[in-house]
A = this chain, B = another copy of it.
Amino acid sequence: MNRNPELEPSPDVQADAPRGRRWEAIATALRDDIVSGRIAPGERLPNEATLAARFEVNRHTLRQAVQALVREGHLRVVHGSGTYVRELVLDYALQRRTRMSENVAQAGERAKRELLSHERAKAGEWAGPLKVPAGSEVEILHTRASIRGRPVGICTAAYPCPRLSGMAEAFKAGGVITQALKDLGVADYVRVRSTISTRLPTPAEADALARPVTQPVLVVQYVNADLDGKPVEAATTLFAADAVQLTVESDGEVS
């Protein structure tokens, strides 16, 4: 150990952690800094000497932690320049068959979508896009998508009842909307329409996205319908501007 008696012990790392686990504790501390946004995407890490001093370890131990985060995709090494927090830019394709799970998988990233909360409510504002009576009921799911532990989007989606009662339970089983719809009898669906706008997030939205309220969000409102044209999902997704860009490719042949 290359302890420097001038520095206070770092609160991030247990000084009495077993020697073999020190690098894991450092990796955890750095990972927390990245996932929480305290170190921003694209930012360069302090140099090895500075970090080794901060964590009170030698460079070899520090390097083990950094290498673990490179393997996990949180950091990338630019030779001759330094170690950077990886930019998180997901190309999200808006097309006839738009699937969040596929968009994320195509980016080759470790992603998950979690259920934050759900409720049953009168259709209200969702009645129009879902083409159901305003007094009928919908099941509403609030979900959050994360890549490498960092939130990239939050989604509020409404499903018509009684046809799709039980979406929350079905979603919990696998964490994929497409599979949940399939389990409830919707074999396939297509994107009818997407509307894209932007605004600053509310404090609650910024909090859920782990972003500052000064960073704008992309707002995508959309409707998905089954192959008979009946809407099965109406939703609003907020994407973090530093993590996601939307793409629209022309499907049509050039003729």
Contacts and interface: CB of A to CB of B under 8 A. Distances in A.
How many of these chains are in the complex? 2
Nearest to A94: B248
Nearest to A196: B246
B194 A96 contact: no
A8 interface: no
B198 A248 contact: no
Interface residues of A, number: 35
Given A200-B216, A216-B200, A216-B216, A252 B195 contact: no
Interface string A177-195: 0000000000000111111
A247 interface: yes
A250 interface: yes
Contacts of A244: 197
A134 B227 CA distance: 46
A193 B196 CA distance: 16
B199 A216 contact: yes
Interface in A223-255: 225, 227-229, 241, 244-252, 254-255
Given A190-B254, A250-B96, A252-B96, A198 B227 contact: no
20 contacts: A96-B250, A96-B251, A191-B248, A193-B250, A194-B247, A194-B248, A195-B246, A195-B247, A196-B218, A196-B245, A196-B247, A198-B198, A198-B216, A199-B216, A200-B216, A214-B214, A216-B241, A227-B255, A248-B248, A251-B251
